[in-house]
Amino acid sequence: MSRRLNKFSQLVVMILLAAGILVSLVLIREGINLFSQADPLNAPQNIVVTNQWNGRFGVAFETTAVDTLATLVIGTDAANVSQIIYDSQGQDYKGSLHLFNVTGLVPDKTYYYKFLINSNIYDNGGEPYSIKTLKLDLTPFENIPIGGKIDPITTPCLVYSHVFTNAETSLPSIDSVAANGTYTINLDYMLKKDSFTLYDMSTSNLIIFVKCGDGTTGGVTTPANKDPGVISLSSTFPVKSYNNDMKDFTAVAGTITPTPNGNVTSTPSYTISATSTPTYTKAPTNAYTASPTRPNTPIPTKNPTITDNLPHTGLAEDSQPFVLGLIFIILGLYLKRSMKKSV
């Protein structure tokens, strides 16, 4: 009888050790440091949803830290957000400006997403951000895209833009600047926020804002059907973050001169609050995305990982799975040692 118990105890030890090692290896493979503290410098800021069309949208954001490695994780089920989208600058890109292009989606369907930044998950406090793709009765490329250039040439940079007529502003468009300092703006993305129809570009104005990883910014306001020319970048440019409600960049003594309608304040920096339109996320601020000249192909969906099943704390440093693995290992070693003493 004692021999049978001894064999059973050895089996239990082996199972506990195997379970602990397996849990630990899975976490290591996923690159998650469960004991790390989420650095607020890595948190996504100024989140903007942009370049919306049938079956596509873009997401972009900034971080205070200049060396963040980020991916976008999306899905059609809030409980299983697992499809990985890499930064438009490349899978290994590290920086403070991040842009993600998501294409090949189903029109008029809700998608959920969260951010994985330096091995920490940011999922809107446990409730992933959401966006509903558009269902448009429009033909792409009705408006000819326009191009421009920045000076001095530096990258990475993001180009935010929207059109406006009187007090109304469009949905935003965002592109990334190429290595030669050029960028392209797809005017078709600049739809009316209520009807999702196109503006008449011959009677509309275009605002373009550029922000670069080195902290320089610049901007120009021009008729939507005119060449925007070269945008000069400067560390003293008074606007530091994109705002979809801006209608002018006129700078006086380091401030922004309010426009007649009062929609632009005289503060040197802007942030965007999430709107209540069905195409915007519940993000605390806004962000940027999608490059019309370099669209991203869909990334194959990964199988759900242990990361997706973590308790919704908003951060991936929740240590419950890892601690469970350690408990399995320690318990197994203790039982093994106890058996040796009893022999």
The whole-angstrom separation of Cα 199 and Cα 178 is: 27
Instruction: Label residue 340 by pLDDT band (50, 70, 90).
Output: low
Compute the radius of gyration of the chain from its Cα atoms. Answer: 25
Max mean pLDDT among 21-30, 196-205, 273-282 falls in 196-205
Residue in 98, 97, 95 with CA at minimum distance from that of residue 87: 98
| pLDDT at 302 > cutoff 50 | no
The CATH fold of domain 40-256: Immunoglobulin-like (2.60.40)
Q: pLDDT at position 142, please? A: 83
Instruction: Label residue 319 by pLDDT band (50, 70, 90).
Output: very low
The whole-angstrom separation of Cα 47 and Cα 283 is: 7
